């Protein structure tokens, strides 16, 4: 059965990142989909307004990827180019500068990988590159770990958004250290924080949004689902539900049970 393609309407109050006002808090990647049409349908179903695109996917030096780029442009979303595959600050800076020329945007998703097995970012090199790019006028969306001190330093370097992982890229395991994420949100109340990588289910997205994160960014969880279009919509609903829960101020957790129905004034009978 083909999933009907209808736009997500799970948009909340507008919010701002890098000087741009958005309604959706769901950023979506564009790789590994079964077909270009499934990608297009998933984007519509997700209601996303921001798409990440890898410069290497386009192969600009050979003119490759033109049809893919034309399809992306037709979706009328904000483009967030990324430096995926870079292993040094210098390489990431060069790729970011190329992306600015090709895509016509100062937005850049900064990725500098330090370990090829876990795809854990090299946070030292990330900070070096972020510092240079921010000074050059880029709006840097920095992929990092859930380390609070590094997140503070990336914010202080001028990053438009700090993007900690929930778990290693592509694992789909969900938040491995919710405490670290919660602490980061509490300690950086004015920073734009976007969870990037490791989310596998809509409930994972709802969980991190309930902590107060501004948005989530994911790719594999939608692209490699059995039904990417339906999963894209499910994630949009999860993001919206988590944000609504956060804004509604959830009840406090308690150590003991507490009756939800009052017994004050209710007669009490007992048998003799």
267 has pLDDT over 80 = no
Average pLDDT of span 12-38 = 93
pTM of the model: 0.89
174 among annotated binding-site residues: no
Known active-site residue 76: no
- pLDDT tens across 143-185, in order? 999 999 999 999 999 999 999 999 999 999 999 999 999 999 9
Whether 243 is covered by a domain: the verdict is yes
Rounded Cα distance between 107 and 80, Å, is: 6
Contacts of 74 (CB under 8 A, 6+ apart): 40
| pLDDT at residue 13, as a whole number | 85
- pLDDT tens across 195-247, in order? 999 999 999 999 999 999 999 999 999 999 999 999 999 999 999 999 999 99
Measured in residues, the chain has a length of 272
Whether 8 is covered by a domain: the verdict is no
Catalytic residue, from 11, 100, 109, 233: name it.
109
Of the candidates 165, 89, 176, which has an alpha carbon nearest to the alpha carbon of residue 124?
89
| pLDDT at residue 68, as a whole number | 81
Whether 134 is covered by a domain: the verdict is yes
170 among annotated binding-site residues: yes
Report the chain's mean pLDDT, rounded to a whole number: 90
Average pLDDT of span 92-112 = 94
Look-up of token digits 């970011």: 96
CATH number of the domain bearing residue 81: 3.20.20.70
Whether 154 is covered by a domain: the verdict is yes
220 among annotated binding-site residues: yes
Look-up of token digits 């670290």: 180
Residue 142: give the domain boundaries. Answer: 21-247
Whether 267 is covered by a domain: the verdict is no
172 among annotated binding-site residues: no
């Amino acid at each position: 059965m083909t999933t009907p393609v209808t736009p997500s309407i799970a948009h909340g109050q507008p919010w701002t990142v890098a000087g741009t006002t958005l309604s959706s808090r769901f950023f979506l990647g564009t790789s590994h989909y079964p077909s270009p049409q499934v990608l297009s349908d998933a984007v519509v179903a997700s209601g996303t307004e921001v798409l990440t695109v890898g410069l290497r996917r386009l192969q600009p030096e050979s003119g490759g990827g033109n049809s893919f780029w034309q399809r992306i442009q037709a979706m009328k979303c904000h483009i967030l180019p990324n430096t995926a595959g870079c292993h040094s600050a210098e390489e990431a800076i060069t790729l970011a500068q190329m992306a600015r020329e090709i895509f016509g945007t100062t937005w850049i998703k900064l990725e500098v990988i330090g370990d090829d097995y876990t795809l854990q970012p090299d946070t030292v090199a990330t900070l070096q590159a972020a510092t240079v790019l921010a000074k050059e006028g880029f709006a840097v969306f920095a992929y990092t770990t859930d380390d609070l001190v590094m997140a503070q330093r990336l914010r202080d370097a001028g990053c438009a958004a700090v993007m900690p992982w929930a778990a290693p890229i592509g694992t789909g395991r969900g938040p491995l250290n919710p405490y670290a994420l919660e602490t980061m949100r509490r300690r950086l109340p004015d920073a734009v924080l976007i969870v990037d990588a490791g989310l596998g289910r809509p409930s994972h997205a709802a969980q991190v949004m309930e902590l107060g994160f501004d948005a989530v960014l994911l790719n594999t969880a939608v692209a490699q689902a059995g039904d990417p279009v339906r999963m894209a919509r499910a994630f949009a609903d999860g993001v919206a539900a988590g944000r609504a829960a956060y804004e509604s101020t959830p009840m406090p957790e308690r150590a003991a049970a507490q009756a939800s129905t009052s017994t004050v004034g209710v007669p009490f009978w007992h048998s003799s």
